[in-house]
A and B are shown apart, each in its own frame.
Chain A
């Protein structure tokens, strides 16, 4: 392949974060964040607002420099070789990050070109993605006229323009109605089927349960628990009060692990999943 020098190390495929630290003045956003996501799996990063989810994603996607620690994404060091990482990742943020003035097709072609596809390849890939994401009819309309769900789909499509090995989804269904959310979920499942590594941050516990092979619970800038959804549920043990057989929900797992009770702060966390 015609990439610049440097061969990715196999042990660094997927996502490997080691002791990441980030400080904003007095506030510690990440405090020894360590996480490993095996290639081709989905990791759900679960935590309340301000736990450090977005900071972690921004560091792993090369947008932010960590104050300490190391991270490799798709085989490359995010601080030393950000350019190599950028050829291999896709990023969907909390808000649709697309150019509203341009059409859907122009957006896809623009980011294809910025990813150094040839003009022809960018055009072909844009067409493919527009079909795949049900945007073919709206392809030549300005994004400003798109609905929230359509923007989200375009956002997701744009992040796939270079066929990324690793995809970061930072609260990808924030602000979507239930139908649009289920649509995004099914698209994420399709992607995983094709071998993409996904790091999904969410405060919707149901979302993590639905999509993730592995869940990491983050609180105050560090991972406090890790495992499959079932392992995490087993850790807490069956519900103690109501019926003996009911397994705890991830909501309860989360509350147990973060040592929080369902008071003000956690209520806002739980609400959207209802």
Chain B
């Protein structure tokens, strides 16, 4: 009994990452209501904003719903950050993080497992939001390659948010403090072009919203889907595809190493 029976013949981090991704998929299966709520919440926002406030919104070059859906696709990516922070802090609070750290599993595998699961979560979120868009009359107009590029930019933003979320989760430690992130997601979302054009905001606020990474992706996605842009003429709006490519790269370059370092520092 004192001899371990484990035979780590192919103890590769890819396999460990797949095992950890599988764990999160099992969470969804065990708690379908919770994942359903996560997926349906943005739908509720579309109905609220689209129909409750939508009548009062005057989008000069189209309907508000056509403007809103790309914004909500970007918001869905942002909501993922919030779920990630909650999941990481919950694991820390329940001691699961410690137990995983006591297994022969590398930090790279732990972070990759999270990343893959988050990517699947993002794909599910995008699917639900696009279906919702179709149901309320939204359509992409610029063909399939362009639409795929838009989805690619959305996932690219989520990829960056994955690392921001893991980093914040490891930093904040407790689910109670993670609530701060849940609250802050809203100002970040509203101070962007997700819901209204920054051109309609007071100058200083519009400037923040114009350069918000979320705006870059929302505006780029509108352009690629051929949806109304609310006549934005700023440099940032006209180069939105470039910014939507660069911003997530910058965020990833900063937060991926930070997240990894933070995980390693758990042992200090």
* B250 proximal to A (CB < 8 A): no
* A96 proximal to B (CB < 8 A): yes
A64 to B3, CA, bound (A): 25
Q: In the complex, are the beta carbons of B3 and A100 less than 8 A apart?
A: no
Tally chain B residues at the interface, Cβ within 8 Å: 34
Q: How far is the CB of A125 from chain B (nearest CB, A)?
A: 8
Q: In the complex, are the beta carbons of A163 and B5 less than 8 A apart?
A: yes
Q: If A64-B267, A65-B267, A91-B102 touch, does A98 touch B7 (CB 8 Å cutoff)?
A: no
Q: Please tell me which one of the listed residues B7, B15, B26 contacts residue A106 in the complex, with CB atoms under 8 A apart.
A: B26
**Across the interface, which residues of B come within 8 angstroms of A195, CB to CB?**
1-2
Q: How far is the CB of A102 from chain B (nearest CB, A)?
A: 6
The secondary-structure label for the interface of chain A is loop
Q: In the complex, are the beta carbons of B7 and A2 less than 8 A apart?
A: yes
Which residue of the partner chain B has the closest CB to A161? Answer: B6
Q: In the complex, are the beta carbons of B102 and A62 less than 8 A apart?
A: yes
- For window 99-158 of B, CB contacts with A under 8 Å fall at 99-105
A86 to B27, CA, bound (A): 25
A197 to B26, CA, bound (A): 34
Q: How far is the CB of A3 from chain B (nearest CB, A)?
A: 7
**Across the interface, which residues of A come within 8 angstroms of B1, CB to CB?**
163, 194-196
* A224 proximal to B (CB < 8 A): no
Binary contact track B1-22/A, C-beta < 8 Å → 1, others 0: 1111111110100011001101
Q: In the complex, are the beta carbons of B101 and A117 less than 8 A apart?
A: no
* A88 proximal to B (CB < 8 A): yes
Q: Please tell me which one of the listed residues A1, A100, A165 contacts residue B94 in the complex, with CB atoms under 8 A apart.
A: A100
- For window 1-42 of A, CB contacts with B under 8 Å fall at 1-4, 39-40
A4 to B15, CA, bound (A): 17
A125 to B1, CA, bound (A): 13
**Across the interface, which residues of B come within 8 angstroms of A103, CB to CB?**
30
A103 to B4, CA, bound (A): 25
Contact-residue size bin, chain A (C-beta under 8 Å from the other chain): 35 or more
Which residue of the partner chain A has the closest CB to B98? Answer: A97
**Across the interface, which residues of A come within 8 angstroms of B101, CB to CB?**
62-63
* A104 proximal to B (CB < 8 A): no
* A234 proximal to B (CB < 8 A): no
Q: Please tell me which one of the listed residues A61, A87, A196 contacts residue B6 in the complex, with CB atoms under 8 A apart.
A: A87
**Across the interface, which residues of B come within 8 angstroms of A86, CB to CB?**
102-104
**Across the interface, which residues of B come within 8 angstroms of A162, CB to CB?**
4-6
Q: How far is the CB of A110 from chain B (nearest CB, A)?
A: 6
Q: Please tell me which one of the listed residues A63, A84, A110, A197 contacts residue B98 in the complex, with CB atoms under 8 A apart.
A: A63
Which residue of the partner chain A has the closest CB to B18? Answer: A113
Binary contact track B61-88/A, C-beta < 8 Å → 1, others 0: 0000000000000000000000000000
A170 to B8, CA, bound (A): 27
A29 to B31, CA, bound (A): 40
* A142 proximal to B (CB < 8 A): yes
Which residue of the partner chain B has the closest CB to A142? Answer: B30
* A202 proximal to B (CB < 8 A): no
Q: How far is the CB of A218 from chain B (nearest CB, A)?
A: 21
Q: In the complex, are the beta carbons of B30 and A115 less than 8 A apart?
A: no
A4 to B11, CA, bound (A): 10
* B239 proximal to A (CB < 8 A): no
Binary contact track A78-120/B, C-beta < 8 Å → 1, others 0: 0000011011110101011111111100100011011111100
A-B contact pairs, 29 of them (CB 8 A): A1-B7, A63-B102, A63-B267, A65-B268, A91-B102, A97-B96, A97-B98, A97-B99, A98-B94, A98-B95, A99-B94, A100-B94, A101-B27, A102-B26, A106-B26, A106-B30, A110-B26, A111-B99, A113-B19, A114-B20, A114-B103, A114-B105, A116-B6, A116-B9, A116-B11, A117-B6, A158-B99, A163-B4, A194-B2
Residues of B within 8 A of A (CB): 1-9, 11, 15-16, 19-20, 22-23, 26-27, 30-31, 94-96, 98-105, 266-268
Contacts A61-B102, A93-B95, A98-B94 aside, 16 further interface pairs with beta carbons under 8 A come to A63-B101, A87-B6, A95-B95, A101-B26, A102-B26, A106-B26, A110-B19, A111-B99, A111-B103, A115-B103, A116-B7, A117-B7, A163-B1, A163-B4, A163-B5, A194-B1
